[in-house]
Structure 1
Amino acid sequence: MKPANTQKLIYTALCVAIGLILPQIIKLIPIANIGAIISPMHIPVLLSGFLCGVPFAAFCGIILPPLAFILTGMPPIYPVGISMIFELGTYGALTAVLYRTTKGKIYPSLIGGMLGGRAVMGIANAIIFGVAGNPYGISAFISGAFINALPGIVIQLIVVPAIVYALKKARLVPAVQ
């Protein structure tokens, strides 16, 4: 294995570990449904998009919800976990693609990845809820993806770029090719 792939594999494992630990810390905050509000799994997946490239970042996003369910029971695998698999997988892959396409521009990559992931989550929810015979319309999508998640979105827009900038300054982020 090339040294660059070894580094990406290590970063991916670290992001998966953070994605498993951070929700456990966040749920100590005594607020109902805090995980849906803060979205702690999203931060390490978005970071993996900047650090690891498409296949590793997509894997990070895809593996986190079922692994978290197996180890902690949260998120419930149906319906939330299934839609999160698609959402987080898209976050990782799309952020990585956009980061490379924009030649290292952090905010356009982050915002594009976040919007794309939420769109995929909306489509997944529409299918999942539709098959179950439950309505899932645009108001439910806007409410769940943007209004209820606004604190998490703000946190992601502050924390993720700060970490990426710090890692760039420390020369721990692979060069954009």
Structure 2
Amino acid sequence: MKKIDIQKIVLSAMFIALGMVLPFATMQLKSLGQLLSPMHLPVLLCGLICGPVYGAIVGFVVPLLRSVTFGMPKLFPGAIAMAFELLTYGLVTGYLYTRSKYKCIIAVYKALIPAMIIGRIVGGAVQAVLLGGQYSLAAFMTGYFVNTLPGVVLQLVLIPVIMVALGKAHLIKFHSGAKRKAEIF
């Protein structure tokens, strides 16, 4: 039997709570929430910090729980498609980051960028299955790539900053690229 990591369970619960609360910051303007994708931040961080299994669970739970609790996003098709998208984010980010030899900003980007691309493809595919013929390639590209560009930029800037801050506070194993270069030579 595998050892249960209480710290990762507690952190995952915290990331679920953040995923429930962060969208309130953009709630006044629905389009702002879609642009900044506030639920994505805790899921991506959970994958990086807790690993792929916890990241996937948090990613799947947050949109569904938020939909059932607060009615946003709407359960069908939004929250269901988003659950699979965020599950993929947490899984891919966690998997790629845990496989990285060095825990640094480069490793964070090597985990984030593929996760964001694969997650969006999965979310769009699930939405296409749920909506059938009512979903087009143009709707997919607009909804998952064009409209979410500000959120992608926010995630690509904010998540590495958070990881560096957590590393400097000695809360996670993380170091800057300068230390990594010294280790290589």
Considering the TM-score relative to the shorter chain, is it more than 0.5? yes
- Aligned partners of 1:166, 1:113: CA distance in 2, in Å? 22
Offset at residue 174 of structure 1 (A): 5.3
- Residue 179 of structure 2 corresponds to none
- Aligned partners of 2:17, 2:9: CA distance in 1, in Å? 12
Answer yes or no: is the 8 Å Cα contact 2:68–2:75 preserved in 1. no
Offset at residue 11 of structure 1 (A): 1.1
* Aligned ranges 1:51-130 → 2 under 5 Å: 51-103=49-101, 104=103, 105-130=107-132
Give the letter aligned to residue 9 of structure 1: I
- Aligned partners of 1:80, 1:23: CA distance in 2, in Å? 15
Answer yes or no: is the 8 Å Cα contact 1:37–1:149 preserved in 2. yes
Unaligned runs of 5+ in 1: none
- Aligned partners of 1:32, 1:86: CA distance in 2, in Å? 21
The Cα offsets for residues 32-63 of structure 1, whole Å up to 9 and x where unpaired, read as 42221110000000000111111111110000
- Aligned partners of 2:118, 2:9: CA distance in 1, in Å? 24
- Could you state the TM-score of these two structures normalised by the residue count of structure 2? 0.86
* Moved beyond 6 Å, runs of 4+: none
- Aligned partners of 2:97, 2:36: CA distance in 1, in Å? 24
Q: Percent identity?
A: 41
The Cα offsets for residues 47-105 of structure 1, whole Å up to 9 and x where unpaired, read as 00111111111110000011101221101000001100100000001000010223331
2:40 aligned residue (22, 39, 42): 42
- Aligned partners of 1:43, 1:32: CA distance in 2, in Å? 17
Give the letter aligned to residue 159 of structure 1: L
- Aligned partners of 1:16, 1:67: CA distance in 2, in Å? 9
Answer yes or no: is the 8 Å Cα contact 2:85–2:123 preserved in 1. yes
Give the letter aligned to residue 121 of structure 1: G
- Residue 160 of structure 2 corresponds to 161
Answer yes or no: is the 8 Å Cα contact 1:51–1:174 preserved in 2. no
Give the letter aligned to residue 107 of structure 1: Y
- Residue 13 of structure 2 corresponds to 13
Question: Secondary structure of 1:33's match?
Answer: helix
Greater mean deviation of Cα atoms: 58-67 or 102-111: 102-111
- Aligned partners of 1:8, 1:85: CA distance in 2, in Å? 20
Larger Rg: 2
Offset at residue 6 of structure 1 (A): 1.2
- Aligned partners of 1:116, 1:55: CA distance in 2, in Å? 17
Counterparts in 2 of 1:77 and 1:174: CA distance versus 1, 3 Å: farther
